[in-house]
Chains A and B, each alone.
Chain A
Amino acid sequence: MTVTIDSPRASTTKHHKGINLEKWGWVFMRASGVLLVVLIFGHLFVNLMIGHGVKALDFAFVGGKFSDPFWQVWDMLLLWFALIHGANGMRTVINDYAHNRLVGVVLKSFILLATIVLLTLGTLVIYTFDPCPAGSPADLLPSFCAGV
């Protein structure tokens, strides 16, 4: 015979309200991981395989890429997703291995600081890069500099 026990037998209290950072952190890792595969292999393919391959890499090549809005957006996505993906991965490693709470907080602060500094510098480089610095020999610059 089945017995039905009246409620409240189970607590139905919500454990947390608002957004769950751990959950969205996990989703971000999965989503950015897939995106990074495309971004990184696209980057490697264009830089190392197309045309003259690795020999084509010089100031002019990089300057040319940073002058193209398509590659600016590509490199920007690559920078932000790779750095945040890596930093969040480091954060979880610290969560798993730092037994001392203070050590964990200090290490995570360093990671946050490093991430912010690198993202700021990287973004500045991508958007304020001058492919035609004045007074440079023309043979080292991208071809379009001659017309500027």
Chain B
Amino acid sequence: MASAVAAKSGPIAHGEVPTFPVTIIIRRFDPEVDKEPRWVDYDLQMHGTDRVLDALHKIKWEIDGSLAFRRSCAHGVCGSDAMRINGKNRLACKTLLKDLDVSKPIYIEALKGLPLEKDLIVDMEPFFDSYRAVQPFLIASSKPKDGKERLQSAAQREIFDETTKCILCAACTSSCPVFWTDGQYFGPAAIVNAHRFIFDSRDEGAQVRMDILNDKEGVWRCRTTFNCTDACPRGIQVTKVIGEVKQAILRGKP
């Protein structure tokens, strides 16, 4: 892939990062001007080491400062720059341009299924509402002995290890076709974070969370389309996690 890019841009000096032209088409929306979102394209010269986020920076800093998007850490930890890149939910800061097909334009738009506010920014409140609804905090009535921590074996920790990795970027939830419909469904991210505590041996609120997810709009609306697993930038097997929560609810205990 990288060699094909280098070949296109001609001979390069030793140690120099090859550059290549790329067209980025962004679905822009300014609520004060536009009635409907519109696609705007930008032609850029980018480096082989650049990510989609670098392209967005280049546009914002050098071409059009009005472009609005979220990003904080820019290194795949904070989860603020999830967006639809060529139709798939990805973190802009973890997607290298050279891994996309740069011979064609790259389409970038805001996450689907959440209210669009401006350009690539969506209202995340519905997403956090369903996150809050599953009570994503440790519920424990017991006091640990002598003011120490609650002990847990490595095996007990392993059970929910995968779901501790969630960064709440909303890539999974906003890739879910069921979530797009009416927004009543909790969505994959909320179920992942419920899983985080349902299977935690120190937690006592599993029953409460399973009751919440045993709702009409709970885990049973999952159609196992695997969009969420594909979208997760942290590699969480989201659909498998939802399956584990379904099993737990059927068993009646974690």
Contacts and interface: CB of A to CB of B under 8 A. Distances in A.
B220 A22 contact: yes
Nearest to A93: B223
Nearest to A14: B211
Interface stretch (A5-13, A56-64, A71-79): A5-13
Nearest to A4: B143
B249 interface: yes
B220 A9 contact: no
A14 B208 CA distance: 8
- Determine the interface band of chain B, counting residues with CB < 8 A from chain A: 20 to 34
A97 interface: yes
Interface in B173-210: 177-178, 181-182, 205, 208
Interface string A64-100: 0000000000000000000000000000100111010
- B-side binding surface: helix, strand, loop or mixed? loop
A23 B182 CA distance: 20
Contact of B216 (A4, A14, A22, A27): A22
B139 A10 contact: yes
A9 B139 contact: yes
Interface string B205-225: 100100110111010110100
A89 to B, nearest CB: 10
Contact of A10 (B182, B205, B223, B250): B205
Contacts of A97: 181
Interface string B128-152: 0000000100011111100111100
Contacts of A4: 140-143
Contact of B214 (A2, A12, A15, A96): A15
Nearest to B179: A96
A16 interface: yes
Contacts of A26: 220, 246
- Determine the interface band of chain A, counting residues with CB < 8 A from chain B: 20 to 34
A25 interface: yes
B244 to A, nearest CB: 15
A5 B221 CA distance: 34
A20 interface: yes
Given A26-B246, A92-B223, A2 B216 contact: no
Interface in A21-35: 21-23, 25-27
A22 B208 contact: no
Nearest to A12: B208
Contacts of A121: none
Interface in B75-112: none
A1 interface: yes
A98 to B, nearest CB: 8
Contacts of A9: 139
B211 A15 contact: yes
Contacts of A95: 181, 221
B223 to A, nearest CB: 7
Contact of A99 (B135, B182, B215, B221): B182
A-B residue pairs, 8 tightest by C-beta:
A22-B220, A26-B220, A4-B143, A10-B139, A22-B216, A96-B181, A2-B144, A15-B211
6 contacts: A4-B142, A10-B139, A15-B211, A20-B214, A95-B181, A96-B221
Interface of B: 135, 139-144, 147-150, 177-178, 181-182, 205, 208, 211-212, 214-216, 218, 220-221, 223, 246, 249-250
